[in-house]
């Protein structure tokens, strides 16, 4: 139950004075439905109305507040022409311009012969000085209040600043005094005010520096949000650790054979990660571990050996991938290993129908299938393992955090050990925000002998040269990925772009070209992918559907069109699809000139380094947290106050603070603990409170 002290904060926006149903709907669209959403809707810039220049020397385009005498009104007989009010003071003349004006209103607020204060943007038209639709009109007595700094907020169509500002001010007046959840020493050390004062301060900026994420009031509120996030993750983690897990330890018979059959030696990072995973599996506590691997670092073999550990112990393992292409590929890569070891592997995607699917269900329930590979179809009703002891989720960020535990629920008592994998190297601070409830292993070494990919950038004007170079490479037996741009957040436009390029390349290169995009049906995708993998065709024109995990060792060239539209992590993923075989990999980034600073920096980093973890840190610095993993599917918490790029140090402090709190007061029943419960509810981490033993 939400504490009573927060009831007012979660009241609907429509409960505020002056906010009717129409305005409430608009505010809800841009901010959210409750008062607490107004708290978190911070100003994005300021308007400074303190400037009062002489009219004769007022510069163009500035916002100014001036005292004038109203000389005369000049209504227009034609409604389409503006209504003008001519004014002056002892420094010059000023014309106020109004379109679609109501004459009676203007004559009331700007009576001829009277002194008025007006504020707005100064514009020069020839020798005329004008303000079109002044933002404010007041009497001389109101000069002091008009010459102020105003916060500017994000709006939406139909919602003007005035009702939103009024609603925010009313909401702040209603904001409760909450118990302090930070220690007095820490507050003093950071020079921070209490929560309510900090909230009032961020909505009343005095200068542009107050909008900086590192200003004291913004830092205070960001820390509160980060602490709520870290405390919630720590509570989930403690709950998982408390829940009885399942000790799994095989006799090494299958793993020994599998490693002996590998055509290469495991890297040091693979050996270390496996040791950590085996230790987790052998412990009676639930395993919850993230395996981060750079492109081509050998995550799949680590996951496979861990699954064999479960099979040796007489249990089953499951591997879940985000797409049918990736599930199919995992199945094909692991099947020959399983065959040699006498281990039965099954495949389950949304595509399996009828008798095949029923047979897979039956064999899984009987324990005949030792390892099941699939998509989220593994979650569906009717899928019952005989004894699931170990579950692997590949490319976790494509699923979102909430699906993590759904797969382990397929185990008896929901006790399966869980390994989550991602090939998107994630910066340290983001790992903490999205995966703070997990232990982390990192694969930061490439298998020996893999040559770095030669990366170059070229303007799109030289497209014809690129096509000729591709023609020569194809004649020499090379295989080429040609990735088309993200047009915008629109499948339809992306597909149109890729189909246009496919038609152009087919015209130029003939039957050597095939097409792959996300709107194609599963069997069609598989067929085109296997034509490319087998060498039947040499050029695969695709959208970013090939970004993750697709493995064709013979592919040695990657052309990325409009590289400036892609994030760094995405470019790194795409480049990781090539250079996996005997030939030198070559990646060509085609861009539309002129390049902006961020795009230029991105392309420079791609040319300078192949280290995915460094690339991820740079991506975070250039783009901010929301976009690094792709906003919609990142599985990242949606921070409204914290900026992970700017507040990364605060994240580390919040993690340590949360850990210390739970060591000293695991049930949050002490004075600070009770205040921290309020914090969890304030930031809507209500679910975390249910993990407390005392509710």
Q: Give the pLDDT confidence score for residue 545 in this predicted structure.
A: 67
The Cα 266–Cα 271 span in angstroms is: 6
For the domain bounded by 454-609, which CATH number is listed? Answer: 3.40.50.300
Which pairing describes strands 115-125 and 128-132: parallel, antiparallel, or unpaired? antiparallel
Torsion (CA) 187, 190, 193, 199 in degrees, nearest 10? -120
Please enumerate in sequence order all residues whose Cβ is within 8 A of that of 521, keeping only pairs 6 or more positions apart, or say none: none
Q: pTM of the full predicted structure?
A: 0.69
The Cα 59–Cα 95 span in angstroms is: 15
CATH fold group of domain 253-443: Rossmann fold (3.40.50)
Angle, alpha carbons 201-205-210 (nearest 5°):
95
Give pLDDT < 70 ranges for the chain. 240-241, 243-244, 381, 396-414, 429, 433-437, 447, 449, 486-496, 545-550, 623-638, 691, 693-695
Side-chain half-sphere CA neighbours of 439 within 13 A = 18
Determine what percent of the chain falls in helix, strand and coil, rounding each to the nearest 5. 45, 20, 35
Q: Give the pLDDT confidence score for residue 637 in this predicted structure.
A: 56
Q: Give the pLDDT confidence score for residue 693 in this predicted structure.
A: 54
The Cα 475–Cα 203 span in angstroms is: 64
User: Does the domain formed by 50-147 have CATH 2.40.50.140?
Assistant: yes
Q: Evaluate the CA torsion angle 128, 129, 135, 137 in order and state its sign.
A: negative
Q: Give the pLDDT confidence score for residue 629 in this predicted structure.
A: 40
Rg of the chain over all Cα atoms, to the nearest angstrom: 31
Q: Give the pLDDT confidence score for residue 198 in this predicted structure.
A: 97
Query: Cβ(203)–Cβ(35) under 8 Å?
Result: no
Alpha-helical runs (H) found in 84-133: 103-109
Q: Give the pLDDT confidence score for residue 184 in this predicted structure.
A: 95
Q: Give the pLDDT confidence score for residue 243 in this predicted structure.
A: 66
Q: Where in the chain is the domain with CATH 2.40.50.140?
A: 50-147
Q: In what order do the strands lie in the sheet with 454-459?
A: 454-459, 586-591, 555-560, 479-483, 539-542, 513-516
The Cα 537–Cα 542 span in angstroms is: 14
The Cα 307–Cα 371 span in angstroms is: 7
Q: Give the pLDDT confidence score for residue 492 in this predicted structure.
A: 52
By CB atoms closer than 10 A (0-12, 13-18, 19+), residue 209 is exposed
Q: Kindly report whether the peptide bond that precedes residue 594 is cis, defined as omega within 30 degrees of 0.
A: yes
Q: Give the pLDDT confidence score for residue 635 in this predicted structure.
A: 43
Q: Which of 376, 415, 409 is nearest to 393 (CA)?
A: 376
Two structure tokens written together for 483: 């990735």
Q: Where in the chain is the domain with CATH 3.40.50.300?
A: 253-443, 454-609
Angle, alpha carbons 13-228-439 (nearest 5°):
140
Two structure tokens written together for 238: 């403690």
- How many other CB atoms sit within 10 Å of the CB of residue 141? 8
The Cα 411–Cα 244 span in angstroms is: 13
Q: Give the pLDDT confidence score for residue 203 in this predicted structure.
A: 96
Q: Give the pLDDT confidence score for residue 83 in this predicted structure.
A: 94
């Amino acid at each position: 139950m939400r504490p009573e002290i927060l009831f007012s904060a979660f009241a609907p926006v429509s409960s505020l004075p002056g906010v009717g149903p129409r305005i409430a709907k608009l505010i809800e669209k841009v901010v959210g439905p409750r008062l607490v959403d107004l708290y978190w809707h911070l100003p994005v810039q300021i308007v400074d109305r303190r400037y009062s220049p002489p009219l004769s020397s007022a510069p163009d385009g500035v916002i100014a507040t001036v005292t004038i005498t109203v000389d005369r009104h000049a209504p227009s007989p034609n409604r389409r022409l503006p209504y003008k009010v001519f004014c002056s003071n002892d420094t010059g003349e000023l014309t106020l311009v109004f379109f679609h004006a109501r004459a009676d209103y203007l004559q009331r607020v700007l009576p001829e012969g009277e002194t008025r204060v007006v504020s707005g943007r100064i514009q020069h038209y020839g020798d005329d000085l004008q303000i079109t639709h002044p933002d404010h009109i007041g009497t001389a007595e109101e000069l002091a209040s008009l010459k102020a700094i105003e916060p500017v907020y994000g709006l939406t169509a139909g919602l003007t600043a005035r009702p939103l500002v009024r609603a925010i001010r009313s909401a702040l007046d209603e904001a409760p005094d909450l118990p302090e959840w930070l220690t007095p020493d820490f507050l003093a050390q950071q020079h921070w005010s209490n929560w309510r004062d900090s909230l009032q301060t961020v909505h009343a900026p005095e200068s542009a520096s107050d909008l900086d994420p590192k200003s004291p009031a913004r830092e205070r509120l960001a820390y509160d949000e980060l602490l709520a996030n870290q405390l919630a993750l720590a509570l989930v983690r403690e709950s998982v650790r408390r829940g009885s897990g399942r000790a799994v330890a095989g006799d090494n018979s299958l793993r020994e054979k599998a490693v002996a059959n590998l055509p290469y030696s495991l890297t040091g990072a693979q050996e270390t990660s496996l040791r950590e995973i085996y230790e987790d599996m052998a412990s009676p506590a639930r395993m919850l571990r993230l395996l981060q691997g750079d492109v081509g670092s050998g995550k799949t073999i680590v996951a496979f050996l861990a699954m064999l550990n479960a099979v040796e112990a007489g249990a089953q393992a499951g591997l879940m991938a985000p797409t049918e292409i990736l599930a199919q590929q995992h199945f094909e890569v692991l099947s020959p290993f399983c065959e040699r070891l006498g281990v039965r592997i099954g495949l389950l995607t949304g595509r399996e129908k009828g008798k095949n699917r029923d047979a897979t269900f039956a064999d899984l329930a009987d324990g005949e299938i030792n390892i099941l590979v699939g998509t989220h179809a593994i979650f569906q009703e009717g899928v019952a393992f005989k004894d699931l002891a170990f579950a692997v989720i590949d490319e976790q960020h494509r699923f979102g955090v909430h699906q993590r535990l759904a797969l382990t629920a397929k185990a008896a008592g929901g006790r399966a050990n869980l390994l989550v994998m991602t090939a998107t190297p994630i910066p340290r601070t983001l790992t903490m925000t999205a995966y703070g409830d997990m232990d982390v292993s990192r694969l930061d070494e490439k298998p020996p002998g893999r040559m770095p990919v030669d990366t170059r950038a070229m303007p799109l004007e030289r497209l014809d040269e690129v096509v000729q170079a591709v023609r020569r490479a194809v004649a020499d037996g090379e295989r080429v990925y040609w990735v088309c741009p993200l047009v915008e957040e629109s499948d339809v436009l992306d597909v149109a772009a890729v189909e246009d390029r496919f038609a152009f390349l087919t015209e130029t290169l003939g039957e050597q070209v095939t097409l792959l995009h996300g709107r194609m049906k599963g069997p069609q995708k598989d067929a085109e992918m296997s034509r490319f993998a087998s060498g039947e065709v040499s050029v695969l024109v695709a959208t970013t559907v090939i970004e993750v995990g697709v493995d064709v060792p013979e592919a040695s060239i990657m052309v990325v069109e409009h590289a400036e539209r892609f994030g760094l992590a995405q470019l790194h993923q795409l480049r990781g699809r090539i250079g996996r075989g005997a030939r030198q990999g070559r990646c060509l980034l085609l861009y539309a000139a002129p390049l902006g600073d961020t795009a230029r920096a991105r392309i420079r980093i791609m040319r300078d380094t192949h280290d995915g973890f460094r690339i991820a840190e740079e991506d975070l610095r250039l783009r901010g947290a929301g976009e690094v993993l792709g906003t919609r599917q990142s599985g990242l918490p949606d921070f409204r106050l914290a900026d992970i790029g700017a507040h990364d140090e605060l994240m580390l402090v919040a993690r340590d603070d949360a850990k210390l709190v739970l060591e000293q007061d695991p049930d949050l029943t002490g004075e600070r603990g009770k205040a921290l419960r309020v914090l969890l509810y304030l930031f809507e981490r209500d679910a975390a409170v249910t993990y407390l033993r005392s509710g």
